[in-house]
């Protein structure tokens, strides 16, 4: 996994700066949602999730393809964000918080289920 900054948004995806090179994060590899491109605002928007990706966003991605360029030309890097704990850092933080909240509630619910009700004995 690597982290980088979104430096450009296009209708087909986003370019993520990873060190000295820009990697392509294709829309099909961004999230499990229908994605639309808003050219005026320069954002990729998930239809159901309402998650937005724009220039300047920090993302965590996994490198999936590397194509070395010929002499005098640069290579290409393809990345994905369609795995757990990948994507825009804000999204990852939000998802981790939801998981934390869900796991904190479970032990309390188990105690209530095993505790005797008023007037009952175990």
Q: Tell me how far apart the alpha carbons of residues 2 and 18 are, in angstroms, rounded to a whole number.
A: 7
Residue 29 confidence (pLDDT): 95
Average pLDDT over the chain, rounded to an integer: 86
Distance in angstroms (rounded) separating the CA atoms of residues 70 and 96: 42
3-state secondary structure of 20: coil
pLDDT at position 38 is: 93
Strands (DSSP E) contained in the chain are 2-10, 13-18, 21-26, 35-38, 43-46, 52-54, 58-67, 76-80, 87-88
Pairing of strands 21-26, 58-67: unpaired
Residue-wise pLDDT for 81-103, tens only, equals: 998 899 999 999 988 998 888 88
pLDDT at res. 103 = 85
Q: What is the pTM of this model?
A: 0.76
What's the CATH number for 2-114?
2.40.50.140
């Amino acid at each position: 996994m690597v982290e980088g900054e979104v430096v450009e948004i296009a209708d087909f995806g986003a370019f993520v700066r990873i060190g000295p090179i820009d990697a392509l994060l294709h829309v099909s590899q961004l999230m499990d949602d229908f994605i639309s491109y808003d050219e005026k605002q320069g954002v990729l928007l998930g239809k159901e999730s309402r998650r937005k990706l724009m220039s300047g966003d920090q993302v965590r991605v996994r490198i999936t393809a590397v194509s070395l360029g010929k002499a005098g030309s640069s290579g290409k890097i393809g990345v994905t964000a369609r795995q757990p704990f990948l994507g825009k850092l804000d999204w990852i933080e939000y998802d981790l918080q939801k998981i934390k909240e869900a796991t904190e509630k479970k032990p309390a619910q188990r105690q209530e289920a095993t505790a005797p009700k008023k007037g009952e004995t175990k």
